[in-house]
Chain A
């Protein structure tokens, strides 16, 4: 089979150039980390590069850590964190890029990073780790030690996702999403409520319920997504309904309307169990999207201010 001579990379370079020219103020604001900003201070944690620039210090508001501290943190990170977050902390098998995680960029000496280490992020699949305060500050010292390279414009400014055609997106939305959603109803001013295009895109593709699920972007206050529910029908016809807590081939647990969990043993098909997934229409649509459809709908929803 012949493959395209010119790799898709050309497309990316063009897109990147367009992005930089078209970067809007709103977009930059949307990217700013939450919490109090220091006027005039450059964003923390930005600008790790490939060396040679010597401007890293400009971007790191923290006093430099002792080399021994960084070395200890590096070794400990290598043992406990590398598999998921990658050896350079820019993301690995399953964990996000720590260079751009606000927990890290806003952290000074482990006070924010430590909370995540000790409690984990169960909904994102991150386990908790037992570490001492000095181990946490060593890890923090190592993570903050990356801000030493040349300034990298590309990494400072994430590329614009709004490359789609809003008009085509509107037509697609009306055809495929209009049965359940309306930009004057449940999605009113969605482009304002979710200002970051990537968050907007991930959210409309698969909105994650406020609790449970554990798959997707995580809880989003801008949304009201109902949880999965389950109906358990006993052999005598009695029905039990509630929010689905857990289910496997042998048990099902629901949370009834008093907030109490109820567990039923399952034996083959008795009792009868029906799970109702409010996100089923979203899942059913996945196989039919082209990437252009996705980018167009995102471009459209971003205009719904």
Chain B
């Protein structure tokens, strides 16, 4: 505890010194609960996605209407990239186009069908400006009327272009990860590049989709890779881009005690566990609490041995000052279905067992929910939120599901729930202190998993199996009681089919206006009653592709949603 107090003082000093000359976003703002602005991935550090704003509430939600709509256009400027000023209105001045990057521009996606046209991450809102992003692209947009202020495009060298989860901000600087594995620092005022740093080699098939998380004078950066590779979280200096520390999800040398959970070092070294979705941060303990991804090879697991394969598919707590692991809880020991545990946890102070506890709540892709003590990592509750999940025989004394090895796969097919997309996926959950419920979108579904790689060495990455869909039982908005881990209620999306890809539902947000916002499979942005899941309001925006956010400007509360390349802002009429 003594050390903690000292580092808090140091932290405050660093923040003040770093921002003496600039304005923009003071990192201290990030310590406040979510309210007027949306300055980081989850709105605030807690990952609760619970806004204190109440102007829009249950009593007036029926009068929520469109304030403005804007399309952003991705791609190189010559191909029409940019964005129209003033939404649908014409005649506005041309939008400044800033081009950077080491590629030729030939590989940059153009047109509306590419993933670079799809907003699937957080849109920061700071000082009346929104910062949406897609792979290779970032924009500044006036938060009051949707006018595009500048468009930044990164000429890519390649890499998987699947999505971008948003930008990070420190003072006047924005931070963006690119699919070709750069961390790019951008001047928020002009959209111009300040510097870029290579996060990992593209030649090893890394790709970067994550939103950098700014904590004090640390920029926390996770990456992804679907092939066997080391997974790491890197902390960068926000001013210089110098690396402060790197934390690896799996043992990289023989001294690591976690090595005993692997067959051998050559397996653990390339064992995966990528942190491709942001975690949450506890300012009191200086712990960054983040979910790790699946071990690799994902399916043909024999090279990994029979052990738990730490610290893959775990919730881990990293001290941001030292970059060292403080605690871990593995939510999927020895995962064999590519069921990442990268879901953003909700950090909650709430009553548990008769006293207030500092908790971390997470629902993972494998169909199980967990309540942990976020200071110590002590396991408190495990619940099964997907009733069809059939890969585990039960929960052991450590609170972990006990995997049934015969449900890994079979040459003639093994019937497994959930499918590879999972019972949930990256879509952030929300927690409302008003109801005490944790909300997450979920799916009950089955696949047949056929082993196709009979070579005893197995396959690499995600290879070696064929997954064929066997049955979609339903998709749900699910509310979970954190005290018991039991499902309090589920609202079924009628007759919905699989979302597809790694999309399992939508990011969610709750507000102190007693509202729960989320997209639905019918293409609506919906406000539900968080007490029971009853829809109270909706607007058909087409294809809500990121999570609803809210912010307050000039006394007016806005609700923002992206639908592919469109931004819609709603306010009370």
Query: Which A residues from 1 to 27 make CB contacts under 8 A with B?
Result: 1, 3-5, 7-9, 11-13, 15-16, 19
Residues of B contacting A11 in the complex (Cβ-Cβ under 8 angstroms): 410
CA distance A162 to B410 in the complex (A): 12
CA distance A258 to B107 in the complex (A): 48
CA distance A16 to B450 in the complex (A): 13
With A83-B160, A206-B469, A291-B415 known as contacts, the answer to whether A249 contacts B538 (CB < 8 A) is yes
Tell me, yes or no, whether B109 is within 8 Å of chain A by CB. yes
Scoring B residues 473 to 506 as 1 if CB is less than 8 Å from chain A, else 0, what string do you get?
A: 1000000000000000000011111101110000
List the one stretch of B137-145, B344-352, B458-466 in contact with chain A: B458-466
CA distance A244 to B497 in the complex (A): 13
Cross-interface CB contact of A250 among B107, B459, B538, cutoff 8 Å = B538
Query: Which B residues from 491 to 538 make CB contacts under 8 A with A?
Result: 493-498, 500-502, 520-524, 526, 534-535, 538
CA distance A206 to B338 in the complex (A): 24
Cross-interface CB contact of B412 among A7, A87, A161, A289, cutoff 8 Å = A161
Smallest Cβ distance from B565 to chain A, in angstroms?
14
Scoring B residues 402 to 413 as 1 if CB is less than 8 Å from chain A, else 0, what string do you get?
A: 110110101111
Scoring A residues 154 to 173 as 1 if CB is less than 8 Å from chain B, else 0, what string do you get?
A: 11001111111000000000
Residues of B contacting A127 in the complex (Cβ-Cβ under 8 angstroms): 113
Closest chain A residue to B179 by CB distance?
A79
Q: Is the interface of B mostly helix, strand, loop or mixed?
A: loop
CA distance A205 to B469 in the complex (A): 10
With A12-B451, A94-B502, A286-B446 known as contacts, the answer to whether A246 contacts B461 (CB < 8 A) is no
With A205-B471, A248-B524, A294-B415 known as contacts, the answer to whether A9 contacts B456 (CB < 8 A) is yes
Closest chain B residue to A294 by CB distance?
B415
Residues of A contacting B454 in the complex (Cβ-Cβ under 8 angstroms): 12-13, 16, 154, 159
Question: Is B158 in contact with A93, judged by CB distance below 8 angstroms?
Answer: no
Smallest Cβ distance from B241 to chain A, in angstroms?
25
Tell me, yes or no, whether A228 is within 8 Å of chain B by CB. yes
With A91-B462, A94-B500 known as contacts, the answer to whether A154 contacts B412 (CB < 8 A) is no
Cross-interface CB contact of A161 among B388, B413, B453, B496, cutoff 8 Å = B413
CA distance A287 to B471 in the complex (A): 10
Question: Is B535 in contact with A250, judged by CB distance below 8 angstroms?
Answer: yes
Question: Is B411 in contact with A275, judged by CB distance below 8 angstroms?
Answer: no
CA distance A97 to B107 in the complex (A): 23
List the one stretch of A29-37, A39-47, A174-182, A209-217 in contact with chain B: A209-217
Residues of A contacting B461 in the complex (Cβ-Cβ under 8 angstroms): 86-88, 92
Tell me, yes or no, whether A251 is within 8 Å of chain B by CB. yes
Cross-interface CB contact of B501 among A76, A84, A298, cutoff 8 Å = A84
With A3-B405, A83-B162 known as contacts, the answer to whether A91 contacts B463 (CB < 8 A) is yes
CA distance A159 to B466 in the complex (A): 12
Question: Is A246 in contact with B473, judged by CB distance below 8 angstroms?
Answer: no
Tell me, yes or no, whether B381 is within 8 Å of chain A by CB. no
Question: Is A94 in contact with B421, judged by CB distance below 8 angstroms?
Answer: yes
Question: Is A251 in contact with B522, judged by CB distance below 8 angstroms?
Answer: yes
Tell me, yes or no, whether A198 is within 8 Å of chain B by CB. yes
Cross-interface CB contact of A291 among B159, B410, B466, cutoff 8 Å = B410
Query: Which A residues from 260 to 305 make CB contacts under 8 A with B?
Result: 268, 273, 275, 277, 282-283, 286-287, 289, 291, 294-295, 298
Tell me, yes or no, whether B55 is within 8 Å of chain A by CB. no
Residues of B contacting A12 in the complex (Cβ-Cβ under 8 angstroms): 410-411, 451, 454
CA distance A159 to B520 in the complex (A): 40
Q: Is the interface of A mostly helix, strand, loop or mixed?
A: loop
With A88-B460, A206-B470, A216-B469 known as contacts, the answer to whether A19 contacts B495 (CB < 8 A) is no
With A8-B408, A91-B462 known as contacts, the answer to whether A1 contacts B107 (CB < 8 A) is no
CA distance A32 to B463 in the complex (A): 23
Number of interface residues of B (CB under 8 A): 82
Residues of B contacting A295 in the complex (Cβ-Cβ under 8 angstroms): 410, 412-413
With A16-B411, A94-B501 known as contacts, the answer to whether A246 contacts B522 (CB < 8 A) is yes
Closest chain B residue to A201 by CB distance?
B413
CA distance A155 to B403 in the complex (A): 28
Question: Is B471 in contact with A283, judged by CB distance below 8 angstroms?
Answer: yes
Closest chain B residue to A205 by CB distance?
B470
Closest chain A residue to B116 by CB distance?
A79
Closest chain A residue to B159 by CB distance?
A78
Smallest Cβ distance from B335 to chain A, in angstroms?
13
Question: Is A248 in contact with B521, judged by CB distance below 8 angstroms?
Answer: yes
Residues of A contacting B421 in the complex (Cβ-Cβ under 8 angstroms): 93-94
Closest chain A residue to B538 by CB distance?
A250
Residues of B contacting A13 in the complex (Cβ-Cβ under 8 angstroms): 454, 456
Tell me, yes or no, whether B126 is within 8 Å of chain A by CB. no
Smallest Cβ distance from B60 to chain A, in angstroms?
19
Cross-interface CB contact of A93 among B460, B462, B538, cutoff 8 Å = B462
Tell me, yes or no, whether B52 is within 8 Å of chain A by CB. no
Question: Is B471 in contact with A282, judged by CB distance below 8 angstroms?
Answer: yes
Tell me, yes or no, whether B242 is within 8 Å of chain A by CB. no
Question: Is B158 in contact with A87, judged by CB distance below 8 angstroms?
Answer: no
Question: Is A249 in contact with B524, judged by CB distance below 8 angstroms?
Answer: yes
CA distance A247 to B496 in the complex (A): 8
Residues of B contacting A286 in the complex (Cβ-Cβ under 8 angstroms): 388, 415, 417, 446, 470-471, 473
Tell me, yes or no, whether A125 is within 8 Å of chain B by CB. yes
Tell me, yes or no, whether A96 is within 8 Å of chain B by CB. yes
Smallest Cβ distance from A189 to chain B, in angstroms?
22
With A13-B454, A78-B160 known as contacts, the answer to whether A93 contacts B494 (CB < 8 A) is no
CA distance A201 to B468 in the complex (A): 11
With A90-B459, A249-B493, A291-B414 known as contacts, the answer to whether A128 contacts B113 (CB < 8 A) is yes
Residues of B contacting A217 in the complex (Cβ-Cβ under 8 angstroms): 468-469
- Residues of B bordering A, CB below 8 Å: 107, 109-111, 113-115, 156-162, 179, 205, 207, 226-227, 301-302, 306, 334, 338, 388, 390, 396, 402-403, 405-406, 408, 410-415, 417, 420-421, 446, 448, 450-456, 459-463, 465-466, 468-473, 493-498, 500-502, 520-524, 526, 534-535, 538, 540
10 smallest A-B Cβ distances: which pairs? Answer: A248-B522, A125-B500, A83-B162, A161-B412, A16-B454, A82-B160, A154-B454, A78-B158, A130-B111, A159-B411
What are 9 residue pairs bridging A and B, where the CB atoms are less than 8 Å apart in the complex? A5-B306, A19-B411, A83-B115, A86-B463, A93-B338, A217-B468, A249-B520, A273-B494, A283-B473
Known: A80-B161, A198-B450, A205-B448. 14 other contacts (CB 8 A): A19-B411, A78-B205, A84-B501, A88-B461, A92-B461, A93-B462, A125-B500, A130-B113, A160-B411, A248-B493, A250-B522, A286-B446, A294-B412, A295-B410
